[in-house]
Amino acid sequence: MLPAGRIGALAERDFRLFWLGQTTSVFGDALVPVALSFAVLDLTGSASDVGYVLAAHVVPLVVLVLAGGVWADRLPRQLVMLGSDAVRGSVQATAAVLLLTGAAELWQLVLLAALYGSAEAFFQPASTGLIPATVSAGRLQQANALLGLSRSSMFILGPAVAGVIVAAWNPGGAFAVDAGTFAVSVVSLALLRVGRAEPAGRRSFLRELGEGWRELASRTWLWVLVAWSATYLFAVAAPVQVLGPFVAKESLGGARTWGFVLAAFSVGSLGGGALALRWRPARPMATCSLLVFLAAPTPLLLAFREPGIAIAAAQLASGVAMGFFMAVWQTTLQREIPPDRLSRVSSYDWMGSLAFLPAGLALAGPVSDAIGIRTTLFVSAGWVVVSTALVLLVPGVWALRRREDEPAAEPVRAAAESELVVRVTGAGVVHGR
């Protein structure tokens, strides 16, 4: 048994199982962005094709996530997640075989990405709803922060490992590892002993969707930040994700450098998650929004093709902001939304946030061909500043305050928590936002 005074939420059996399974799965996930981008570039040499494959993953996720939210509130969330993991593990195993045998074609990678996104649409809302059932209320933000810490740790290790695999062997190796990690996740989920809150009564599918929408629309801070996230992913995240590997291959040294840049973001996220273990801001969404300004330098430095170390430093700062944001955002949703509607609201969050991402991924290459990579990335950097400033002008974002009746989080040694996460992941235990 792990000492509760040092590890907090990890002392609770169900959360510990959930954390171990998800940490393992995230390690596999962290290999894929680098491997997939360079697999496509090896096949076609086109940044636009990278965008099309990435968009093929996101489109079905956006289309199906509302249905995923309804079913996650209807069925045992644990069961929904098990089914999703089984499908996604099979998809990654198929991709591994195709790439390792040299039989992969672009259309196959597009199809597999779409199948993966379809299954993920059911996993993510269920996961948001399941976490509060695995941990006591006073440790909820700590639990979300620990999940963020482990995710960040794996995205430090994963891209670097993927860069080595791609450079020395074949992108298919990364997919094979990812497929194996889903098996660990399945076992950990199957061992959970969590109760299921029975719904008040089965209503029509559309009525249940409507209930989730009313929960979203009644909270200004919530729909404003979901709408902002949609524009951010379209205008900032998508161009960086598509054009970053292309710039790295042309000017920065290839997959190893890009893996290093992605790992730097995760180092920052680790720091942001550790901060969330300790700090519960009085105005959570306003504080998180202010930190987003730290994301502006990355596309700017990519535009000027500055050295990889400078881009990595910018990504480090951006990672701090996003790591803290995600832990606090998840906790705020889980505290503010009624438990029996949480997965549906989470599905609207996912759908709204990702609504324009497929278009951003598909358009980043063609737009950069038309106006230039540098100009496209300038627009991305500008949008970070402009959009975040607009969010901070919304009174509802400032009005949301931490609930005074929240259970006080028990004292935890943040450094010990971080050390534990890194030590466990180093021993080989482990989508998106």
Q: In the chain, where are the structural domains located?
A: 12-404+413-426
Q: How many CB atoms lie under 10 A from the CB of residue 74?
A: 16
Dump the DSSP string for 294-321: GGTHHHHHHHTT--HHHHHHHHHHHHHH
Place of tokens 């993966």: 116
Tokens found for residue 335: 């505290």
DSSP category for residue 351: H
Tokens found for residue 117: 């996104």
For residue range 21-78, what is the model confidence (pLDDT) as tens digits? 999 999 998 888 888 888 888 888 777 788 788 888 888 888 888 888 888 888 888 8
User: What is the distance between the alpha carbons of residues 103 and 238, in angstroms, rounded to a whole number?
Assistant: 28
CATH number of the domain located at residue range(s) 12-404+413-426 in this protein: 1.20.1250.20
Please provide residue 46's backbone torsions phi and psi, each rounded to the nearest 5 degrees: -115, 125
List all residues 6 or more positions away from 159 whose beta carbon is below 8 Å from its beta carbon: 30, 31, 33, 34, 258, 259, 260, 262, 263, 266
Q: For position 412, what pLDDT does the model report?
A: 36
CA 206 to chain centre: 28
Tokens found for residue 45: 């040499």
Q: For position 141, what pLDDT does the model report?
A: 74
User: What is the distance between the alpha carbons of residues 390 and 394, in angstroms, rounded to a whole number?
Assistant: 7
Q: For position 182, what pLDDT does the model report?
A: 93
Q: String of b and e for 243-257 (b: at least 16 CB within 10 Å)?
A: bbbbbbbeebebbbb
Write down the pTM of the prediction: 0.67
Q: For position 403, what pLDDT does the model report?
A: 67
Q: How far apart are the first and last CA of the chain?
A: 32
Mean pLDDT by 10 residues, the chain (433 residues): 55 89 90 86 80 84 84 85 93 93 89 93 85 82 80 78 81 90 92 68 75 87 92 92 84 78 82 81 90 93 89 92 86 83 81 82 88 93 95 91 54 33 28 35
Helix/strand/coil for 298: helix
Q: For position 36, what pLDDT does the model report?
A: 87
List all residues 6 or more positions away from 389 whose beta carbon is below 8 Å from its beta carbon: none
106, burial (CB in 10 Å: exposed 0-12, middle 13-18, buried 19+): middle
Q: For position 318, what pLDDT does the model report?
A: 92
**Whose CA is closest to 352, among 225, 211, 238, 240?**
225
Q: For position 422, what pLDDT does the model report?
A: 29
For residue range 252-291, what is the model confidence (pLDDT) as tens digits? 777 778 878 887 887 888 888 788 877 888 899 999 999 9
Q: Note the maximum CA span of the chain.
A: 59
CA 97 to chain centre: 26
Q: For position 4, what pLDDT does the model report?
A: 42
**Whose CA is closest to 138, among 353, 410, 431?**
410
